Every structure is written in structure tokens, then in C-alpha cells.
């Protein structure tokens, strides 16, 4: 019995020790096309991953006929010859029912044949202003994907002209082998012009339907346009209430020619907690955290608490900020979001100590998909100890903020622009001075090189206080330069206004200029070179009678799924506000 067991075991080991098969790829195609064909081959992938099961190999062989032909069609080859032999037998004739015990060699032979160009290309009727792909015309290489792109462009143009149900009606594609041309004739059925009907809701959400309709603000009765549906999606996303938002057009039109839209919504978990951390060799560590409750009252509203402690282990003091905010969309009007805010802050800065509180009531106003605007009113109180003595400030504030963001990614942008501006008139109470504080931040990004390997990033910051002297304004509203966010390589807030006698305070104006060259090195690793310049002045005009300093350095980035991890080394290059090397670590690009 023991001998039988040993014999059976040995047989099983031999049966499972199948050898990986060899692949021979033979083609007369050029280097680029050969690379594309090999990349499309499931057989080559199976060999590279040591697949040995005959049924898997044969399945890969038979799928390769379609894959290789599809690749050749995409590149304009419509008369190819393809042979895939499995140990000498043509793979197309092999059955998955009757399989060989083992496969040793698969030989792929591809003869692309001549490359075709487009002959007659007709897509009709077209909506006014339709732009078909530039290469979809007589004499250009007949890439098969261009036929689909041209058809999609025609359909999309009709949809943008309110014909929501436009679709292809008929298509004729003829490959003329003697002339090596591809004739294309596509007939479009535009369907009727439609209006937007009712927005219906489905899915699992606790937000009341009346609130959903008010927040979505679908322009029922107006002419259909896909961008109107995109705007509804963005309005719902902006609330932060939903994990999933899907808009689907009804299959058929209503009797009045309108088209209903079905929004399927799935709520996010109501509560969320998050945290962050940054590190600077001079400024120390910064820890931040927040707690948020979504859909607090089933109105898609949101309550959030934030806390931040900075300056931990640094050469400056420890700052503490605690804030809370409440947001309720579609309040007062369908396009305004109510925002209530409160902030308590203790600042231990190089030039001053400050304890302040701020309370605001305002509204976010929908302007465009890429733009925001906020206006509000509030009260601000601060107690300050600095080189000018111990002082109290009390202000009625009128903050206005606007931004426009066309970046492709907020944490790791490679294209686009970003601009924000803040204008805050402040009215002095209890003998405090009145004036206006203005701050603007503009950024631009441009990528170039193969696979957009290089990215140029630039930033310009401008700040100004007018109507009040810098000695009459709370120092945490004044401007300083140095450290992360302004001039890397210079100590934190090291550039200020010298009052004489060793006394210092912030300035009435600020200019900040930053430039970066980012380069992909390998995989998720990138290198960065940067230069920052900052200037502080005593007048309201940025740059006038200003003192300047600058810093430069090198950095590394490791790209993660939630943004790049940043490591920068920087040193002063001009000015007398600091020396030595500074280290900065954080998440996301510097700007």
C-alpha cells in the first residue's frame, strides 16, 4: 500500500510540473507597429506570466486574432494576414473541448499589408458648428478610431443643439483594396429638439426631495444641453453629502417633448475625521485635524470643526487655532449657500503675541463651474502684545472673496491656472482704525516634453492695506515674508518693518514671486528646483520702498494616490534675514 501511495504522489507531481511555453513573434511591420501588436497580444502576456494551462493558452490564442486585427485596423491596415500556430496547428481551428496535454510553442505571424488612407468621408446631417477630427478627411491615414471619434463628435454637437436623442442611423464602411482607400458614410438621426423635463430622484439618501430639487436647480422647461446636467452634478457634489451621484436621461420623451432626468444618489457616511502634518526645520511641526458631520438636519447641510497646532519644536512660539463652520446650500436663493463661521486663535509669532476671535455670517454664491464668490459680514476682536505695546482692536469686517480654478489637479497640478482675491473692508470700533485689506494669489502651470515630463509652475502674491497706517492695524492682519508659503530658505516671518531701536512689526504691503521647475525622474519620483522672492513695504502700493529677500533650493516629490509627499531643502540667496539650510516636509505641491 505504501508503494502505491508513493507512485501516485510522484505521478501527481509530474503532472503539475508543466513547462512554460515559448512564443515566436514574426512580422514585417515596423518597430512602432510591432510594439503595439506585441502589447495587444494576450499570448505574449500569458507567456510572460508563466501560464501553463492549455485551456488558458488556447483561449489567449483565439482572442489574439481579434486583438491583433483591431490593432491593425486602428493603425490603418485593412488587408492583414494573421497566423497563430500552436505546436504547428492553426489556433483558430482548435477546440477548447479537446485540448493537448501540453503546449510547447506558439508562433504568431503577422503581415500587415498596405496602409490605407481615407477616400470619401461623409457624416450627415451635421449640426451647425460641428467640428470633426482634423485627420478624418481624404488622403489621411485611415485610423479606424477616427470613424468613431467623428461619429461621436457629430452626435455630441446635435446634443449640444438640444437634440438629446441624436444617434447613428446607418453606417457604411468600405475598404477598397485596389486603391488602398477606406470610404466612410455615416447617417445621423438627430431626433427632435427637446426641453428639460422633471428631475426625478432614486437611490439611498436621507435628504428630502424638496431640498434636492432646490439644490440641483435643474432649469426645467429650458432647452436641453449636456452642460446643464454637468452643472446639476457639480451642485450636488459641492454639498459633500453624497458618495455617488449618477444622472441618467429617461429612455423616452414625454408627450410634450420634454426629457426627464433621473438622479441616483448614495449618501456618504455622515461623520468623518481627518488629520494632516507638516514639518519645517526652523518653524517646527504642524498638526491639524477636523471632524465633520454631513447632512446634519437632512438638508444636505454640514457642520465642521477644525483644529491646528503649529510651531511644535520650532524656534518660534506655538500657535493654536480652533474654528467651526456650518454650511447650508440653496438658502435664501437656489444659488447661495449660507456659511456661518467662528474662529478662536492664539498666535505666538516672532514679532507679536495675539489672541483673537472672529465671527462671520456670509454666503457662497454660484457664479460658474470653475469660479466661487463669497460675501459676508462679521465681528473681529483681538488683544495684541508687540513692540508697540499692549493693544486691543475691535472691528466690524466685510469679507469678500473670489476664486477661479482651472487646474487639472489641486494637489499636483500640471496644467491650468488658479487665482483668488480677498477684499476685506474693516470698520474700527472703540477707537480702532478703519481701512481695507486686499490680498491676491495667482498661479499658473505649463507641462512640456515627452509624456509631459517637465512642469513649469509660477506664483505671484500681492497684499495691501490702505486707509490705515501699519502701526494702527492688528499685526496678524499685516504682512510678513519668510518660510513656507512665501520665501523658502528664509526664516519664518523674518522680513518685516524695522521701527528702530530693535522694534519690528509687519508691513502694509507684500509682493511674493515663486518659480518651480518640476521633472519626473522615475516612476512616482520627481525632482524640483525652485526660487522664491519676497518684499515687504510700508506703503499701500506693493513693491514701493520695499525691503527684499530671496531663497532657492531643490526638492523631491513622491506621488501617492492622495497627492505628492514633498521634501524640500532651501537656503537664502539674497537679503540679511537668515542663513543656513531649511527643510520643509508636507503633502501636496508647495503651490
On the question of pLDDT at 8 being above 60, the answer is no
- CB atoms near residue 324 (< 10 Å): 16
pLDDT digits (tens, 9 = 90+) for 528-546: 999 999 999 999 999 998 9
pLDDT at residue 99, as a whole number: 85
Q: How much is the mean pLDDT over the chain? A: 92
* pLDDT at position 502 over 90: no
Q: What is the 3-state secondary structure (H, E, C) of 486-545?
A: CECCCCCCCECEEEECCEEECECEEEEEEEEEEEEEECCEEEEEEEEEEEEECCCCCCCC
CB 321 within 8 A of CB 208: no
Q: Round to whole Å and give the CA distance between 541 and 546.
A: 10
pLDDT at residue 6 greater than cutoff 50: no
pLDDT at 172 over 60: yes
pLDDT band at 450 (very low <50, low <70, confident <90, very high): confident
Q: Length of the chain, please?
A: 591
97 phi/psi in degrees, rounded to 5 = -85, -40
What 8-state DSSP symbol labels residue 481? B
pLDDT of residue 31: 93
Looking at residue 2, its pLDDT comes to 33
Read off the pLDDT of residues 243-278 as tens digits, 9 standing for 90 and up: 999 999 999 999 999 999 999 999 999 999 998 888
Confidence at residue 342, expressed as pLDDT on a 0 to 100 scale: 98
pTM: 0.74
pLDDT at 17 over 80: no
- Residue 589 backbone phi and psi in degrees, to 5: -65, 160
CATH topology of domain 271-587: Porin (2.40.160)
pLDDT score at 3: 36
Answer whether residue 175 shows pLDDT above 60.
yes
User: What pLDDT score does 562 carry?
Assistant: 77
The pLDDT value given to residue 19? 59
Q: What is the pLDDT of residues 395-406, one digit of tens each?
A: 999 999 999 999
All three cell numbers of 276: 494632516
239 phi, psi to nearest 5 deg:
-70, -25
Comparing 117-189 with 195-267, is the CATH topology the same? Answer: yes
Contact predicate 385/349, CB 8 Å: no
Which CATH number, 3.40.50.150, 3.40.50.300, 3.10.20.310, 3.40.50.140, labels domain 195-267?
3.10.20.310
- Tell me the mean pLDDT in the region 272-294: 88
Per-residue pLDDT band for 225 (boundaries 50, 70, 90) equals very high
Q: Please give the pLDDT value at position 278.
A: 82
The whole-number pLDDT of residue 284 equals 82
Q: Which residue has the higher pLDDT, 579 or 481?
A: 481
CATH number of 117-189: 3.10.20
Residue 368 has pLDDT above 50, yes or no: yes
pLDDT for 9 equals 30
Sign (positive or negative) of CA dihedral 177, 179, 180, 182: negative
Could you report how far apart the first and last alpha carbons of the chain are, in Å?
76
pLDDT in tens, 431-444: 999 999 999 999 99
d(Cα 83, Cα 106) in Å, to the nearest integer?
Answer: 10
Question: Does residue 215 surpass a pLDDT of 70?
Answer: yes
Residue 316 has pLDDT above 90, yes or no: no
Question: Given this model, what pLDDT does residue 280 score?
Answer: 75
Give the rounded percent of residues in the chain with a pLDDT score beyond 90.
82
Instruction: Please state the domain extents for the chain.
Output: 15-111, 117-189, 195-267, 271-587
DSSP state of 131: -
Query: Residue 13: is its pLDDT beyond 70?
Result: no
Mean pLDDT of 84-93: 92
Closest CA to 86 of 108, 68, 64: 108
Amino acid at each position: 500500500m505504501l508503494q502505491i501511495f508513493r507512485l501516485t504522489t510522484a505521478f501527481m507531481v509530474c503532472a503539475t510540473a508543466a513547462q512554460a511555453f515559448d512564443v515566436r513573434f514574426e512580422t514585417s511591420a515596423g518597430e512602432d507597429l510591432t510594439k503595439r501588436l506585441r502589447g495587444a497580444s494576450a499570448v505574449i502576456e500569458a507567456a510572460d506570466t508563466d501560464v501553463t494551462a492549455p485551456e488558458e493558452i488556447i483561449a489567449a490564442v483565439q482572442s489574439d486574432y481579434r486583438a491583433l486585427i483591431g490593432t491593425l485596423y486602428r493603425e490603418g491596415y485593412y488587408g492583414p494576414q494573421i497566423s497563430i500556430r500552436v505546436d504547428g496547428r492553426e489556433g483558430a481551428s482548435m477546440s477548447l473541448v479537446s485540448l493537448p496535454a501540453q503546449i510547447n510553442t506558439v508562433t504568431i505571424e503577422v503581415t500587415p499589408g498596405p496602409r490605407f488612407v481615407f477616400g470619401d468621408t461623409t457624416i450627415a446631417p451635421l449640426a451647425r458648428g460641428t467640428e470633426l477630427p482634423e485627420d478624418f478627411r481624404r488622403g489621411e491615414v485611415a485610423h479606424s478610431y477616427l470613424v468613431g471619434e467623428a461619429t461621436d463628435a457629430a452626435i455630441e454637437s446635435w446634443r449640444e443643439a438640444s437634440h438629446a436623442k441624436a444617434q447613428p442611423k446607418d453606417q457604411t464602411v468600405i475598404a477598397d483594396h485596389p486603391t488602398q482607400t477606406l470610404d466612410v458614410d455615416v447617417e445621423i438621426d438627430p431626433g427632435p429638439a427637446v426641453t428639460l423635463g422633471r428631475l426625478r430622484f432614486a437611490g439611498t439618501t436621507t435628504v428630502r426631495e424638496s431640498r434636492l430639487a432646490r439644490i440641483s436647480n435643474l432649469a426645467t422647461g429650458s432647452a436641453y444641453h449636456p452642460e446643464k446636467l454637468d452643472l446639476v452634478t457639480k451642485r450636488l457634489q459641492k454639498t459633500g453629502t453624497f458618495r455617488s451621484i449618477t444622472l441618467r436621461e429617461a429612455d423616452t420623451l414625454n408627450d410634450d417633448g420634454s426629457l426627464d432626468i433621473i438622479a441616483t444618489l448614495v449618501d456618504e457616511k455622515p461623520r468623518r475625521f481627518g488629520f494632516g502634518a507638516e514639518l519645517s526645520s526652523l518653524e517646527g511641526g504642524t498638526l491639524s485635524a477636523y471632524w465633520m458631520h454631513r447632512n446634519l438636519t437632512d438638508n444636505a447641510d454640514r457642520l465642521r470643526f477644525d483644529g491646528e497646532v503649529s510651531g511644535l519644536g520650532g524656534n518660534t512660539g506655538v500657535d493654536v487655532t480652533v474654528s467651526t463652520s456650518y454650511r447650508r446650500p440653496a438658502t435664501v436663493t437656489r444659488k447661495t449657500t449660507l456659511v456661518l463661521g467662528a474662529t478662536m486663535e492664539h498666535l505666538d509669532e516672532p514679532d507679536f503675541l495675539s489672541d483673537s476671535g472672529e465671527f462671520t455670517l456670509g454666503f457662497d454664491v454660484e457664479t460658474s463651474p470653475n469660479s466661487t464668490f463669497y460675501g459676508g459680514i462679521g465681528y473681529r476682536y483681538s488683544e495684541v502684545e508687540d513692540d508697540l505695546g499692549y493693544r486691543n482692536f475691535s472691528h466690524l469686517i466685510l469679507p469678500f472673496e473670489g476664486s477661479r480654478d482651472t487646474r487639472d489637479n489641486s494637489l499636483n497640478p500640471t496644467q491650468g491656472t488658479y487665482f483668488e482675491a480677498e477684499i476685506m473692508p474693516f470698520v474700527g470700533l472703540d477707537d480702532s482704525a478703519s481701512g481695507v485689506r486686499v490680498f491676491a494669489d495667482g498661479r499658473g502651470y505649463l507641462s512640456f516634453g515627452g509624456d509631459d515630463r517637465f512642469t513649469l509652475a509660477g506664483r505671484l502674491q500681492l497684499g495691501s492695506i490702505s486707509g490705515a497706517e501699519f502701526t494702527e492695524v492688528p499685526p496678524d492682519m499685516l504682512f510678513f515674508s519668510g518660510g513656507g508659503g512665501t520665501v523658502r530658505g528664509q526664516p519664518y516671518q523674518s522680513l518685516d518693518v524695522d521701527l528702530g531701536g530693535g522694534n519690528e512689526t509687519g508691513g502694509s504691503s507684500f509682493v511674493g514671486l515663486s518659480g518651480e521647475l518640476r521633472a519626473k525622474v522615475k516612476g512616482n519620483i520627481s525632482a524640483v528646483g525652485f526660487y522664491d522672492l519676497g518684499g515687504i513695504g510700508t506703503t499701500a502700493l506693493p513693491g514701493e520702498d520695499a525691503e527684499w529677500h530671496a531663497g532657492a533650493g531643490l526638492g523631491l516629490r513622491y506621488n501617492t494616490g492622495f497627492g505628492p509627499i514633498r521634501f524640500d531643502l532651501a537656503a537664502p540667496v539674497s537679503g540679511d534675514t537668515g542663513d543656513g539650510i531649511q527643510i520643509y516636509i508636507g503633502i501636496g505641491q508647495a503651490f
